[in-house]
């Protein structure tokens, strides 16, 4: 008997079917389609056109099927589409791994999943995929509009979850509830943001494609290379001064130093050659004139830090090379803050090595004979290097040279054609020509590239340096004085140094529109740009740039001296506990406000209690009115009228204000009768 009973139970368990999946309501599908569109739409700018077209086709097709209440595609067709799309992504990106290919796969799957929506769990997959897809938008942009879009999409995702789990029929009410839930989570989010131990650098660093779109200075300069930068209005870096702002003519932000010249292109020396064959940089302070500042450097995937010429104190992990470039150990791959002190009046390498001086005299043979002849004449007649340099600057100033971003093309003897024929160019032409003249005259010289000037944002006080401020100047080595900065562009277009490139160029030259401030409408646009850039800078400094260093600064201000991960973890736990306890207490103590009709009825019952009539817990309005008629006939008329009004308000189809006022008037009449009987 026992064995047969066990067999019976086991047989029932085998025959027991799995619970059927919860079906998905038809009204939820538009919410899920909106989630797929909102979480994927910003990626359209970065995806290949064919993938964007496939995504749009699949989403439009699913919407059409929903409107027609048609059957979904067969599984074999979905499998074929999935295989074809995955193969196309692998062919386009040559891989299925990495940032761009991974994001493309997520977007493709987001478009494909709505075509197999059968149960609630399929909808949950779309919502969870949407939450994850939101994070990928920060691969391409971390701006304020991106943050606002993601915040709004988070509310939409939360609203979709509410709708899937039986939310009300009103979309406005569902979105309001979702916004309330997200707002309630903000204090906890803020605690995690402040106290969670920060990780240096981006969370997902993919070196193969993480910096493909970055631009900036290069370690080589060929004709037209700086021209491309000058025509860009993108921000290169910002500087916040804690000391008085130096004069604009002193704002030379030093980048790569170019020593090697082949007649067409200037190149920087290899780093290992500089380290092994030259002594370290020696900077002497001539006068106590210092600049203290913090750079917020945009990512440019290079090691140079563009410090103000010439730094004497450096952040940890950086240093000054023999050519006075400030270099970091690793390329700058994300927005980073560096604090410097620079000496504005200095002498650099008074005792330079013979190898460095010889290297700074080399010129390619058999090129630019007219330039060499002019330099030899100066060397024979003037002799002194400082007088030769002054003669070259006077030559640029007195002859008819023009500063323009549209110079003519130059041939094999480029310097000769520039100095004696075209005489049209911009900073790279003048710096290169000056250095060739100095080398031909026996004076060590080299080209320095970087940025010159900058614009103070009146909203936040930061100095903004743009790619359009890219500049090239020269350095010559003088006996007893060391390397001395000479800017030949200042001899031709002094307004370039004093007021910026917009004041130096003729009206027809290409330049970002807002760099030229001509006309009231452009000035108004510039004011709007200042406000926007100040807001964007605050976002970058305190949100995107909230790195371990900035976290330590903030926590030290609130009393956490030398915070480490243990102290921050304790603060995180304590802050989270306090917030959750506050929310729990608020929910427990919260009293639901009764409707107006119920409050009016309770007021009437309290008025009856003053007459000695206490409503029993089980008594409805009409039962109470009948008892009042028996026990207190004088109050029967008022009580019957009040019971009728309350029943109409509470259970009737109409909820008119007249019945509510009549009920409140009955309460007043009871109170008045009580006063008369005293």
Number of DSSP helices (H) and strands (E) in the chain, helices first: 25, 19
What's the rounded Cα separation, in Å, for the pair 115 and 571? 46
Positive/negative CA dihedral, 397, 399, 400, 406: negative
Q: What residues form DSSP beta bridges with 669? A: none
In the sheet with 346-348, reading across from the earlier edge strand, the strands are 252-258, 445-452, 470-478, 482-486, 346-348, 283-285
92 C-beta neighbours (distance < 10 Å), count: 15
Residue with the two structure tokens 């003897």: 413
Judge if the upstream peptide bond of residue 223 is cis by omega within 30 degrees of 0: no
What's the rounded Cα separation, in Å, for the pair 11 and 15? 6
DSSP 420: I
SS3 label, residue 326: strand
Using CB atoms within 10 A of its CB, is residue 657 exposed (0-12), middle (13-18) or buried (19+)? exposed
Residue of 487, 530, 645, 659 marked catalytic: 487
The gap between the terminal CA atoms of the chain, to the nearest Å, is 85
Positive/negative CA dihedral, 504, 508, 509, 510: positive
471 an active-site residue? Answer: yes
Residue of 137, 300, 471, 530 marked catalytic: 471
Token readout for 420 is 């004696």
Dihedral in degrees, nearest 10, Cα atoms 217, 218, 221, 223: -70
509 an active-site residue? Answer: no
Cβ-based neighbours of 74, under 8 Å, separated by 6 or more: none
Up-side HSE of residue 353: CA atoms within 13 Å toward CB?
14
- How far out from the chain centre does Cα 424 lie? 40
Token readout for 167 is 């939310």
Q: What residues form DSSP beta bridges with 451? A: 253, 470
What's the rounded Cα separation, in Å, for the pair 150 and 453? 36
Spatial contact of 311 and 340, defined as CB atoms under 8 Å apart: yes
664 C-beta neighbours (distance < 10 Å), count: 17
DSSP state letters, 131-162: HHHHHHGGGT--SHHHHHHHHHHHHHHHHHHH
- Report the relative pairing of strands 235-241 and 463-466 from DSSP bridges: antiparallel
Maximum Cα–Cα distance across the chain: 133
625 C-beta neighbours (distance < 10 Å), count: 22
Residue of 346, 427, 645, 659 marked catalytic: 427
211 an active-site residue? Answer: no
SS3 label, residue 260: strand
DSSP state letters, 586-632: HHHH--PPPPHHHHHHHHHHHHHHHTT----TT--HHHHHHHHHHH-
What's the rounded Cα separation, in Å, for the pair 29 and 70? 13
DSSP alpha helix (H) spans, 408-547: 414-417, 427-440, 488-492, 494-499, 501-504, 520-539
What's the rounded Cα separation, in Å, for the pair 531 and 448? 33
Positive/negative CA dihedral, 139, 144, 146, 150: positive
Q: Which residues are catalytic?
A: 427, 471, 487
């Amino acid at each position: 008997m026992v064995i047969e009973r066990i067999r019976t139970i086991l047989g029932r368990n085998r025959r027991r079917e799995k619970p059927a999946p919860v079906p998905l309501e038809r009204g939820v599908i538009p919410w899920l389609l909106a989630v797929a569109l909102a979480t994927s739409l910003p990626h359209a700018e970065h995806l290949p056109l064919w993938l964007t077209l496939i995504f749009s086709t699949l989403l439009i097709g699913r919407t059409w099927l929903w409107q027609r209440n048609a059957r979904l595609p067969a599984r074999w067709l979905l499998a074929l589409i999935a295989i074809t799309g995955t193969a196309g992504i692998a062919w386009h990106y040559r891989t299925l791994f990495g940032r761009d290919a991974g994001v493309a796969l997520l977007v493709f799957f987001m478009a494909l999943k709505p075509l197999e929506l059968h149960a609630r769990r399929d909808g949950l997959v779309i919502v969870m995929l949407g939450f994850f897809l939101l994070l990928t938008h920060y691969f391409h942009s971390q701006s304020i509009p991106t943050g606002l879009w993601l915040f709004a999409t988070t509310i939409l995702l939360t609203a979709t979850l509410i709708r899937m789990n039986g939310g009300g029929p009103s979309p406005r009410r569902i979105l309001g509830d979702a916004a309330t839930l997200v707002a309630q989570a903000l204090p906890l989010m803020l605690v995690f943001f402040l106290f969670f131990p920060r990780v240096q650098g981006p969370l997902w660093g993919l070196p193969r494609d993480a910096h493909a779109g970055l631009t900036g200075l290069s370690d080589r300069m060929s004709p037209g290379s700086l021209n491309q930068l000058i025509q860009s209005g993108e921000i290169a870096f910002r500087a916040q001064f804690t000391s008085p702002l130096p004069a604009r003519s002193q704002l030379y932000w030093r980048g790569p130093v170019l020593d090697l010249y082949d007649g067409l292109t200037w190149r920087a020396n290899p780093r290992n050659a500089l380290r092994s064959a030259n002594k370290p940089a020696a900077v002497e302070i001539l006068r106590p004139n210092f600049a203290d500042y913090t750079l917020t450097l945009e990512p440019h995937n290079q090691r140079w830090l563009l410090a103000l010429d010439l730094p004497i104190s450096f952040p940890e992990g950086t240093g000054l090379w023999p050519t006075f470039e400030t270099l970091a150990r690793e390329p700058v791959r994300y927005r980073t803050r560096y604090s410097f002190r620079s000496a504005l009046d200095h002498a650099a390498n008074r005792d330079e090595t013979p190898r460095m001086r010889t290297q700074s005299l080399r010129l390619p043979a058999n090129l630019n004979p007219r330039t060499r002849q002019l330099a030899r004449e100066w060397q024979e007649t003037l002799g002194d290097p400082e007088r030769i340099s002054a003669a070259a600057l006077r030559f640029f100033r007195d002859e008819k040279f023009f500063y323009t971003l549209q110079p003519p093309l130059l041939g094999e003897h480029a310097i000769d054609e520039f100095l004696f024929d075209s005489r049209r160019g911009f900073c790279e032409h003048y710096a290169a020509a000056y250095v060739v003249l100095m080398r031909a005259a026996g004076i060590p010289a080299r080209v320095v590239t970087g940025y010159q000037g900058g614009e103070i944002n009146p909203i936040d006080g930061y100095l903004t340096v743009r790619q359009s401020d890219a500049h090239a100047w020269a350095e010559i080595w003088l006996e007893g004085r060391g390397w001395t900065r000479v800017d030949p562009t200042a001899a031709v277009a002094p307004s370039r140094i004093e007021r910026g490139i917009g004041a130096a160029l003729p009206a027809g030259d290409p330049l970002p529109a807002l760099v030229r401030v001509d006309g009231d409408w452009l000035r108004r646009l510039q004011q709007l740009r200042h406000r926007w850039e100040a807001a964007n800078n605050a976002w970058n400094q305190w949100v995107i740039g909230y790195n371990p260093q900035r976290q330590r600064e903030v926590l030290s201000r609130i009393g956490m001296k030398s915070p480490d991960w243990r102290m921050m973890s304790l603060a995180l736990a304590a802050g989270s506990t306090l917030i959750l306890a506050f929310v729990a207490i608020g929910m427990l103590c919260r009293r639901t406000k009764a409707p107006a009709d119920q409050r009016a009825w309770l007021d009437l019952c309290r008025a009856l209690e003053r007459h000695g009539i206490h409503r029993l817990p089980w008594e409805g309005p009409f039962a109470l009115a009948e008892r009042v008629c028996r026990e207190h006939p004088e109050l029967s008329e008022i009580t019957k009228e009040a019971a009728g009004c309350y029943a109409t308000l509470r259970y009737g189809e109409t909820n008119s204000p007249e019945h509510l006022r009549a009920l409140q008037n009955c309460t007043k009449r009871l109170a008045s009768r009580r006063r008369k009987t005293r």
